[in-house]
Amino acid sequence: MQMHNFNSGPSILPKEVLEQAATAIHDFNNTGLSILEIGHRTAWFVDVLDEARAIVKHLMQLDDSYDVLFLHGGATTQFMQIPMNLLDDGETAAYCDNGIWGAKAIKEANLFGKALVVASSKDRKHSYIPKDFTVPADCKYLHITSNNTVEGTQWHEFPATDVPLIADMSSDIFHRPLNFKQFILIYAGAQKNMGAAGVNIVVVKKDILGKIKRPIPAIMDYRNHIEANSLLNTPPVFAIYVSMLTLRWIVKQGGLAEMEKRSRQRADLFYNTLDALPLFKPMVAKEDRSLMNVTFSIEDKQLEDAFLEACKANGMVGVKGYRTVGGLRVSMYNALPLSSVQAICDLMTEFQRKNG
């Protein structure tokens, strides 16, 4: 049976990346050693790290005023590491509360300063992106989650503000061209759109660092990781290698312009089908729908369970909604082929015919 991977993360990887990674587990670049065995300070791995960093800067069109780090801890660690590095006691940072992950970031920031919620979609169960809000000029930065994986909303235009902008791009990084220079810091867990679980990418403008009075534990200080070339401690070697292969694949496919083209093809196909089938109910305001994660439901719970069973029978995994939200969710990351989207659209159409 052909499998269709709609998991929200860890998620689908390009087939050639899986094949290259599998080969490297047995023999990395004809060294006679596994990628799991090589020393992280050897020239072999430093070359991998340097290539991954170079591709990120190429895709984002960033100069040397930015550095790219590959760190442990996933995006969740950044919820505390960002305010620890950028927010002094008594200082305020602005946050948008647009879903589960934004709320977690707010909670952590309050341990180091004051997290001011300047926009929230909590009143409608995070089914939209707030558009009209102001950010006080004395805020150190504005933090947003560019794509809300759980709720299925996405910032299609970023807020215009004079306050420095930070984004958690864990679930939509590298799916479209952006002016990445509008951000002072970008972070993303790799396991959704740019690799395997186990590594977090941080892109940081270097001149924002070193301005707080608080002592920072060595392992949490971005400056130490920059100085050590992401080798302050043993990094997640294999996860970084898979990220490098995935970044190579993005470039080979045509870069971010091609990724956006494919993203829109997948999203158009799925949303057009969803809107044409009354049995399935979208959960997000139309103008704020994510290109990565579609959330929807069937009002009759028994029918919803039956649809999930039909998905399972047809090799479609990851369609059950997030545990605290329920419903259904289809994630459509860079590596997902259009044929998989067509397959679930066909299944939905047939399910509507039989049960509508």
User: Per-residue pLDDT averaged across 213-239, rounded?
Assistant: 97
- pLDDT category at 356 given cuts 50, 70, 90 is confident
Q: Which residues of 86-109 are buried (b: 16+ CB within 10 A; e: fewer)?
A: bbeeebbbbbbbbbbbbbbbbebb
Is residue 94 very low, low, confident or very high in pLDDT (cuts 50, 70, 90)?
A: very high
| Residues contacting 118, CB < 8 A, separation 6+ | 94, 95, 96, 133, 134, 135, 136, 139, 142
- Tell me which residue of 317, 73, 2 sits closest to 219, measured CA to CA: 73
Average pLDDT over residues 51-66: 98
Which sequence positions are flagged as catalytic? Answer: 101, 168, 192
Tell me what pLDDT residue 288 has. Answer: 98
For 174-208, how does the pLDDT look when each residue is reduced to its tens digit (9 = 90+)? 999 999 999 999 999 999 999 999 999 999 999 99
Map out the domains of the chain with their CATH numbers.
Answer: 15-253 (3.40.640.10), 256-355 (3.90.1150.10)
Burial class (CB in 10 A: 0-12, 13-18, 19+), 295: buried
pLDDT digits (tens, 9 = 90+) for 138-155: 999 999 999 999 999 999
The whole-chain average pLDDT of the chain stands at: 97
| Residue 100 reports pLDDT greater than 90 | yes
pLDDT tens digits for range 244-287: 999 999 999 999 999 999 999 999 999 999 999 999 999 999 99
* Whether residue 323 has pLDDT greater than 90: no
Q: Are 199 and 235 contacting, i.e. CB atoms less than 8 angstroms apart?
A: yes
